[in-house]
Structure 1
């Protein structure tokens, strides 16, 4: 099966699951997201278990005419050893927990209870590697009792049977020996109706894949091993997936924190789909700014697209503590009297990231472009610190509307504790890309060639007229710590050789134009004087 066929069939599976929800009154319901993503996770776990079990040659399960029957014939001791031999990051299921088993039991009385109990038992048995922790250490449950989302109890059995029937029709197994990059398309399609960018207190903004690819390709230009990668505002994990693929899934451990439970669950699913389930125990649902779970941890790679504007007035005063003095070295943004939702929380994330870098650490942070030129306040203090600490590697200013969800112009800061302070690369990519319409929004899309141009300029430190400059830390200090490439571009005057006749012709043209302008000016003066003479004083 080709990738395209696989993607098409998987999208059909997702659509059919959504259709089941709609048929039972849950279309666009708030619980539809939980049902679709959790059922999809169960499907993936089921097929991944079967794929890994069939690789164990001693059990000959791959050659069995009926995998389910062969699984059920194993005695307790054999099955215990099977679970021991299977890859440690593989979900562990028992024969009575597979989709095939449930499909065969559809005529059982109280099928909805069997369905819910099965998912609950799978969740309990796989807690160690698949559960998301909160900052307090409590672990979530992977699956809700999905049948209870159907208010009419008489329809619950039929609803669960319909879900199992859809899951039984298609298998992921044929694609597990392929590279996982194509799952980004599946994941985005799976959550496109749920990863809202319409606002709200904790709106998740989807980082465009072009931006994520550029960040990863610039950060990872060697072959690191055993490194720790962190995102303090992970969302659904687009940035983390891209950098993990660039490093190699087996060469890194992923760490993340996000205040949104929905985002944490999305990230878990994204890690599973991208062969990174070994990092699920490092996903934390918590408030990175107020109570960072990884406060004293240092990371080799940090990526972040933090929220630019968010009301954190509820806990802003709690940040002003001795323990936070070093972390928030440039200060904490003031709480405005109005429009509290416009508070620049991203300034706290930047400082947190700088604090969290290891001695060899690198970071890439999406910021509003206004940050790179602000001449006062916390923004200026942060930029000064980046230069004084020789931390800035470069900046890329992106085109307008690179995010469909916001018109804010963005730039990407690249930090590196081993940065070359004599060769800092500033790129103005604002004129690149093609504008396309997505629903009511317009978005700028970069071509692969444009992406590569940005990557090559940054990695090779190449100056290019009106596109990039290579400057020193001292140059940046002389420009009031501006990180904008445009402020360093040379103003060039093109000189053209002309003949004496051409010069004479141009001068005559100028003289004629000037005479015309003088004549028009004189006529206007006469008219004004005429109007002035006509004015009379009248007393009321």
Structure 2
């Protein structure tokens, strides 16, 4: 399975690269992921319709869309497909039909107009149905009229036909309900695009090794989750990672401000076979316009934008998320505003784990006040974990993970873990290895203290430090240097002096032989 998965990932990446020379990374990401998604929807539709038609001895391909009997079949299949899949495609609208028509007899045929209509029809098929919100505007970033695809309509068509023909040759193996190979390959592509996206990468992707740490923390001691929430969900990679750590997640919730990334998240959910009734992703600014404010979640994971700006309006002093603290996070650093938001959304029996810049551990003023309130008044802080620098795309700063619970088992202490020196450097990026992740998670779950790695700090100790959480205050990583043998160093210097004198004499002898003046 691993070889097959790797082969699929490489095939998809190779096809993505057919677009690379035509446009920048963000654009060709949106096109290739959009086409893969369209093929996935087509294949799911074809399989579902064939299962319905099997008792009649028909296949979806056999239906004559123009005949009255064919239209009756399509109406019946549409009603069931909208319920089961959330969308509908006619046989003539399936990816393979268009791909073959576009490359008929080995020649590029014009299909752009038909393709545009199909993408619109997928969204329109959901109008008035329960899945309308989940499928609305999903393909709005797949602009087939863009000059980025080519200068002329024929040039655009030729490129799209080429991409679709290559994709049509790949078996997505969707029939295997036990395999999430395609979903993983989709995630792989998102990660590949993130690795080359610079600062923009943080807007839509959390590296898988960090996602695994967060997911493992919030699922500790649980096999099933009623709900998981990410207030800055990006492409949804964190939410989906949580699902890999438990047998079942009943429902996924998320909010994402960027419309393109919001679409990517919904596609990612569907590609991982998450039914449209099992996810609720919203497109709004989480701090300014929270969309799930009345919900409470069993698990919360997040990688909010580091030290982002927000309004910090005085109106928020009457907002239930912030009112009890007495102070708001500064307008130039929204880190604690996100923490307060997540704490408000956390269920009493829930766990939240979020990635933040190190500044949240020690900055004063309003942030220091909020930090002290969370620890002294609420006693919600469960663990502080230091991560290596340079593990996120687009920034090299060191980061930390804050773990908070409303009902803590260990109410008299906070666990500190310094994992900042446990990583592998590959080219210019640092990575948490499997053994690094395993050590971190085991230390968190067993709450063990280890010299130069972890420390269980009593609340009194934190109070004595004025609620400053800077990790070196709690985990001593100082390495004492070996004592220097002065006598040995002196003898070594004497030896070097003799060697230098011998070398000088050799140079002087050579100069004499050559009849030139010696420098010594």
Q: Confirm or deny a common fold (TM above 0.5).
A: yes
CA deviation profile, 1:59-111 (whole Å, cap 9, x unmatched)? 477xx7x7623697974444444455557246432212112332454469863
Indicate if the aligned counterparts of 2:302 and 2:353 stay in contact, CA closer than 8 A. yes
Corresponding position: 1:429 with 2:413:
no
Correspondence 1:525-536 to 2 at 5 A: none
Report whether the alignment pairs 1:267 with 2:265.
yes
> In the alignment, does 2:447 pair up with 1:461?
yes
CA contact (8 A) 1:197 1:205 kept: no
Please identify, of 255-264 and 322-331, the stretch whose mean Cα deviation from structure 2 is larger: 322-331
Query: Mean Cα displacement is larger for which, 425-434 or 167-176?
Result: 167-176
| Alignment map for 1:357-436 (pairs within 5 Å) | 357-420=346-409, 421-436=411-426
Cα 1:125–1:191 shift into 2, 3 Å: farther
Alpha-carbon spacing, 1:160–1:466, altered in 2? closer, same or farther (3 Å): closer
Segments of structure 2 that go 5 or more residues without pairing to the other structure are: 491-520
What CA distance in whole angstroms lies between the structure 2 residues aligned with 1:273 and 1:104?
23
Q: Secondary structure at the match of 2:325?
A: coil
User: What residue in structure 2 maps to residue 40 of structure 1?
Assistant: 36
Which segment is superposed worse, 379-388 or 250-259? 379-388
Number of paired residues? Answer: 472
Residue 228 (str. 1) matches residue 227 (str. 2): yes
Residues 1:88 and 2:73 are matched in the alignment: no
Matches of 2:296 and 2:199, distance apart in 1: 32
State how far apart, in whole Å, the 1-side matches of 2:255 and 2:169 are: 36
Aligned ranges 1:119-198 → 2 under 5 Å: 119-126=119-126, 139-143=136-140, 146-150=143-147, 151-174=151-174, 176-180=176-180, 183-190=183-190, 192-193=192-193, 197-198=197-198
Superposition map of 1:8-157 within 5 A:
8-19=7-18, 22=21, 26-28=22-24, 31-56=27-52, 58-59=54-55, 68-69=61-62, 75-83=70-78, 88-89=84-85, 91-106=87-102, 111-126=111-126, 139-143=136-140, 146-150=143-147, 151-157=151-157
SS of 2:210 mapped into structure 1: helix
* Distance change in 2, residues 1:283/1:453 (3 Å): same
**Inter-CA distance 365–281: structure 2 relative to 1 (3 Å threshold):** closer
Listed as ranges, the gaps of 5+ residues in structure 1 are 336-342, 495-505, 514-540
> Which sits farther off after the overlay, 326-335 or 162-171?
326-335
CA RMSD across the alignment: 3.7
Which residue, 460, 465, 487 being the options, matches 1:474? 460
Q: Give yes or no for contact 2:199–2:394 (8 Å, CA) kept in 1.
A: no
Matched ranges for 1:488-503 at <5 A: 488-489=474-475
Contact 2:349–2:406 (Cα < 8 Å) also in 1: yes
Q: What SS class does the counterpart of residue 449 from structure 2 fall into? A: coil
1: CA distance between counterparts of 2:191 and 2:422?
29
Counterpart of 2:497 in structure 1 is none
- Over 3 Å counting, the alpha-carbon distance change for 1:387 and 1:422 in structure 2 is same
Moved more, 405-414 or 140-149: 140-149
| Conserved? CA contact 1:132–1:264, under 8 Å | no
* CA-CA distance at 1:56 after TM superposition: 5.0
Which of 296, 305, 308 lines up with 2:306 in the alignment? 308
Q: Secondary structure at the match of 2:227?
A: strand
TM-score, normalization by structure 2: 0.79
Quick one: which of 422, 432, 457 aligns to 1:446? 432
Shift of 1:242: 0.9
Q: What is the SS of the residue equivalent to 2:300?
A: strand
User: What is the Cα deviation at residue 404 of structure 1?
Assistant: 4.2
Q: CA deviation at 1:223?
A: 3.5
